[in-house]
Amino acid sequence: MSLRKIIQEAEKRREVLRITDEVSPKYEVACLMREFDDGPILVFDRVEGYNMKVIANVCGSRGRLAYALGINEMELHSKLYSSINSPTPPDVASSAPSQEVIEEPDLTILPILTHFEKDKGPYITSGVVYARNREDQVENVSIHRLQVLDDSTLAIRLVPRHLYRIWMSAKERRENLEVAISLGLHPAVYLAAASSPPYGVNEYHIANSLMDGKLKLAKCLKTECFVPAEAEIVIEGEISFEKEAMEGPFVDILGTYDIERLQPKVNVKTITHRKECLYQAILPSGIEHKLLMGLPREAVIHEAVSRVVPYVKDVVLTSGGGGWLHALISIRKQKEGDGKNALLAAFAAHPSLKHAIVVDDDIDIHDLSAVEWAVATRFQADEDLIVIGKARGSSLDPSSDQERLLTSKLGLDATRPLDKPIEKFERARIPLSSRVKKLVEKLRK
């Protein structure tokens, strides 16, 4: 249950593209990641100045994520939601591949990428951070961007959530916070780390449920932390309670530059890794970034809407909305008002959500043209529009009040009215004979 196994299986399915030409970790790898953003897993065999291979786009499609979890795509939401609500503790291994090689605390051994032209410098984008609150013993696992400051120091972006709360607890005691940063992981660990369960729920336990009990952890060497035993690379260190640095600018999920701000420093204690390890990278604002952040939110929205309408077919946080701000929801409407209730439930379930459209279950929400058609033929602005002003929003939206986290929200009920014949809202179809079907297949060859 490792990254290597995922890549081996993908190669059998011809979903891996190996890039054998030498490329630079500054811009060139990121440029190719952007070029093949919605394509196969990328393996960069020759990264200038390094012996390590760089791996990208492992979590770059719903199909690959579902395959890694041993399910089909339509089960992703239910699997995620059930795992979030039924976490199971993983076993701790006595030895770990992630500790086969022990290095000095020198970040220059890693091919850390510089992605965009105005980035402050190289950034680790696939780091899963473990920390434990000594005060209440709560463990937290979450994904954070990490800016390289020098050979042994990082700056970590702490959004005011669970890791921030744990760090603040250590800060009040004037203690540095021990952390372990894991790279090169099974997709289940990344999905769990992005799932944002209630404080007190260990995301490793969610990952173990996603992996049907097959996750193994390992105790770190120089900290009281735990990491996935099969991780490719582990960085052990401490988040300083007093030392900070200017972090950013850096591109976030919407493809715009986040602002500079003072953030805590991470002092690296040691680096361990597997033999011939793989450095995993995630392109900021790429499809992989959007899926890892968005899929767990989709699962929560799906469940919330299911509580207020009888049947929910699907939920998608769209790529154009950064996998974060725009939702499309497909329901089977039974009573007038179901569409609006679905919209309100979605906004409550995902506070960062800015715009949402709900459609009937005959509309494929993965086809944006079909969604636009539903809006064109089933939506009336004076009856079907919801506008919510000055609501809590996302700090990532540059058009919002980013200091007070306030935004305006818009919901469109594009479900058909039930007081009109259903025939008026059906798409016209042409019967397809078997002879014409064969002819079409022949002509397309």
Q: What integer pLDDT is reported at residue 402 of this predicted model? A: 77
Ramachandran assignment for 137, one of left (phi > 0), alpha (psi -120 to 50 degrees), beta (any other) = left
From the list 37, 252, 258, 314, the catalytic residue is: 252
How far is Cα 410 from Cα 354, in angstroms, rounded to an integer?
Answer: 6
Element (H, E) at 59: none
Q: Three-class SS of residue 427?
A: coil
- Asked if 252 is an active-site residue, the reply is yes
Counting Cβ atoms within 10 Å, is residue 193 exposed (0-12), middle (13-18) or buried (19+)?
buried
Ramachandran assignment for 12, one of left (phi > 0), alpha (psi -120 to 50 degrees), beta (any other) = alpha
Counting Cβ atoms within 10 Å, is residue 351 exposed (0-12), middle (13-18) or buried (19+)?
middle
Query: Would you say how long the chain is, in residues?
Result: 445
Q: Which pair of structure tokens corresponds to residue 361? A: 């279950």
Q: In the chain, helix, strand, coil percent, each to 5?
A: 30, 30, 40
Ordered domains of the chain (ranges, CATH): 288-418 (3.40.1670.10)
- Taking only the tens place, the pLDDT of each residue in 409-430 is 999 999 999 999 988 999 888 9
Residues of the chain where predicted confidence (pLDDT) is lower than 50: none
How far is Cα 210 from Cα 367, in angstroms, rounded to an integer?
Answer: 28
Q: What pTM was computed for the model? A: 0.92
Q: What integer pLDDT is reported at residue 259 of this predicted model? A: 84
- Taking only the tens place, the pLDDT of each residue in 344-392 is 999 999 999 999 999 999 999 999 999 999 999 999 999 999 999 999 8
Q: What integer pLDDT is reported at residue 325 of this predicted model? A: 96
- Please state, as a whole number, how many other Cβ atoms lie within 10 Å of the Cβ of residue 440: 10
